[in-house]
Amino acid sequence: MTPALLAALEAARAAKRPVVLATRLPDGAQCLLPHPAQPAALNEAAARALAEDTSGTVTIDGAQWFLHAYTPPLRLIVVGAVHIAQALVPFASQVGFAVTVVDPRRAFASDERFPDVTVRTDWPDEAMDALAPDARTAVVTLTHDPKLDDPALDRALRSPAFYIGALGSRRTHAARLARLTALGHDAAALARIKGPVGLDLEAVTAPEIGLSIAAELVAARRGSPLAPARPVAAAA
Amino acid sequence: MSNEMEDVLAQAARWQAAGEQVAIATVTETWGSSPRPAGSQMAVTKSGKMAGSVSGGCIEGAVADAAQRTMETGTPQLLDFGVTNERAWEVGLACGGKVKVFVEKLA
């Protein structure tokens, strides 16, 4: 790989632009895709690799190409800069999520408590509107406070986020669902919220709960049977 | 692919910027129960530093040796590891899987 190509690849990744590094085997000729100068069949194969987020080898016009898909990281929006968030963030980062923590309470949402991730101190509805969750985004609410959690969940339900989880006991969750119903969400939409959040590990401590949420994020991302059932997304 | 531990390319670029010679090994195909999917990468420097992985630790040594050759010659290599390969006696995959690994010089 030439330094120029590596720089171009790193620039695409820094700009969160999905890109495929195509390497012809075995001679190692390389290019970045999509590119108008490359054959249509190669560009189409690259588009498939990006859509499926899967790297692999394809044969096109008798030539073997390794298509390495570089997709932007999945995103995790954590509402509530609480102790459990401090435990969740490093686990989520380790498994490949770009994490944003949202909490208007500045005492909680400090860079000191959350080094290395983006921290926002605007209100969750404003933050969610700005962050615009897509199908590669997960949203987890951890505040326990309806004033903060509800607006975030409301926005999350109106987005195609692939995972929505809310911390709280079954009783808290039932009350929450009643409030969100009053905001106009139907049962099918509300079924998208995983509550209580996280895989059932009988977790007790903050790090254990953080681990159970991170584990559920992986399960949801990979389509594991342990992931919460996924009703058809009611994306706007 | 965002996190620092997995970001082999960024590490390779940093090593190169620091004046190291670097080779990159990438899993291009897998069969059976390979522990690391296609696209998994390992970077190796002339001085012997390593980052990332292309298996569960079974073939990294052999890949690092191949990377040293590629850094000397500049010629990329497509390596085959698996039970049907004669290399299996030295560096086979205990899991019984097969992988192809492409090794290239960063230059």
Kindly write down the DSSP assignment for every residue of B22-63, as one continuous string: EEEEEEEEEESS-SS-TT-EEEEETT--EEE-SSSSSSHHHH
User: What CA–CA distance (Å, rounded) separates B104 from B70?
Assistant: 7
Pick from B2, B13, B28: CB nearest A57 = B28
Checking if the pLDDT of B1 tops 50, the result is no
* Residue keyed to tokens 């986020």: A161
pLDDT at A236: 43
Question: What's the domain count of chain B?
Answer: 1
User: What CA–CA distance (Å, rounded) separates A151 from A227?
Assistant: 24
In DSSP terms, A99 is beta-bridged to A76
Does B1 map to a domain?
no
Please report residues of A whose CB lies closer than 8 A to that of B39. 55, 68-69
Please report residues of B whose CB lies closer than 8 A to that of A97. 2
**In a 3-state reduction of DSSP, which class is residue A118?**
strand
pLDDT at A231: 60
A66/B26 touch (CB, cutoff 8 Å), yes or no: yes
pLDDT at B83: 55
B25 half-sphere exposure, CB direction, 13 A CA radius: 32
DSSP character at residue A28:
-
Is the CB of A70 inside 8 Å of chain B's CB atoms? Answer: yes
| pLDDT confidence tier of residue A95, bands split at 50, 70 and 90 | very high
pLDDT at B3: 43
Contacts of B14 (CB under 8 A, 6+ apart): none
Q: What is the ipTM of this complex?
A: 0.82
User: What CA–CA distance (Å, rounded) separates A142 from A122?
Assistant: 16
A6/B28 touch (CB, cutoff 8 Å), yes or no: no
Task: Break chain A into its structural domains and give their ranges.
Answer: 3-70, 74-222
Does B2 map to a domain?
no
Is the CB of A25 inside 8 Å of chain B's CB atoms? Answer: yes
| pLDDT confidence tier of residue A235, bands split at 50, 70 and 90 | very low
**Superfamily grouping for domain A74-222:** NAD(P)-binding Rossmann-like Domain (3.40.50.720)
pLDDT at B92: 56
Q: What is the pLDDT of residues A175-218, one digit of tens each?
A: 999 999 999 999 999 999 999 999 999 999 999 999 999 999 99
The single-letter code of the amino acid at B69 is: R
| pLDDT confidence tier of residue A230, bands split at 50, 70 and 90 | low
Q: What is the mean pLDDT of residues B57-70?
A: 93
Residue A235 CB-density burial (10 A; 0-12 exposed, 13-18 middle, 19+ buried): exposed
Compute how many other C-beta atoms are within 10 angstroms of the C-beta atom of residue B85: 15
The whole domain housing B21 covers: 8-106
In DSSP terms, A65 is beta-bridged to A24, A58
- Segments in chain A forming alpha helices (H): 3-14, 40-52, 83-94, 124-131, 146-157, 170-182, 187-190, 206-222
Of A146, A165, A178, A170, give the one whose Cα is nearest residue A230. A165
pLDDT at B71: 97
A57/B37 touch (CB, cutoff 8 Å), yes or no: no
Is residue A87 within 8 A of residue A99, CB to CB? The reply is no
Checking if the pLDDT of A96 tops 80, the result is yes
Does B3 map to a domain?
no
